[in-house]
Structure 1
């Protein structure tokens, strides 16, 4: 009896997405592309692949560089909710985006990055030269509309919302937490009690996106 062949994998969306990003990356005017989505959806990977595909025409500035430092989260009593909207410097992120939209000729802006091994932001880690036409920024709360987060969406020329199959997204999240030092049981509990609450909040902003991207 003949066996049914396995289904073909879905086509890689990168070429079409890179073409769309390339259309934004035109010399003469700085544009900002946002990539939003729930924790573990694949935002960082897609953003990095897009920037690589544009081969010098774009630079990546992640929202995670605006995580509050662990010491400050401890002071505020928010360390057990790290990743929630109020554990970031949303006003600082919006201020950086506004500065990036209006580059000064000859001036490099230095943006913060986030070191997952340290679980801390790193100031001044990402140079953004004035002549780069496209900034790609990615993070959970680009479409969130509470508090200072509401200032973010108007500063972005386009926002793409990334989603992936829920079980796979959760699996990736648990594996990521384990990779960076959490015990498996603690990692699963953190995803269940913290990351998934944040995911529901992120999902509420999906309708404000210009494009929904389904990733495997």
Structure 2
């Protein structure tokens, strides 16, 4: 078997994944966007789906303590990592442009700290880490009931994440508030309903709206 890069195991793999998302998102929202993440104002895939993928990632590492299984040993090669990062990054940029074109976000939203993090770090970094760990876990030898349950949890976590993304397309949330980089703070309220997600934010009750802490 091919050893995992950086000596990752179930705990370090889970913590690394969680640090990228939702951890990184929460930290950027708090420090730069001056807001506290409130589940009812966020996409379900972020609030619930990403933590599920973090668990699946940890289980993937737990099922492969000796390294990447032979059938998917190519995942441990530099070309595989670079291709995965490039594909995810390409998707992130394409989605970025498409959402701007469709008016899903305004420019100020699209270049907010959490949105930039999501497109340029979460997709290539988290996508590669969770994707490789989950794939390796599913390809791991079946060595008892625990291994079977682990594979089931990985598959269920992925399916749940996909379902949440489908749900989010139909039920948009604010996601990323408009941001003013010149003053390193959110754009002042009131926000004009200039995008799909800003119009959604206007429909949310005041107690559910993220507040500008500045």
Structure 2 length as normaliser, TM-score?
0.28
Structure with higher helix content: 2
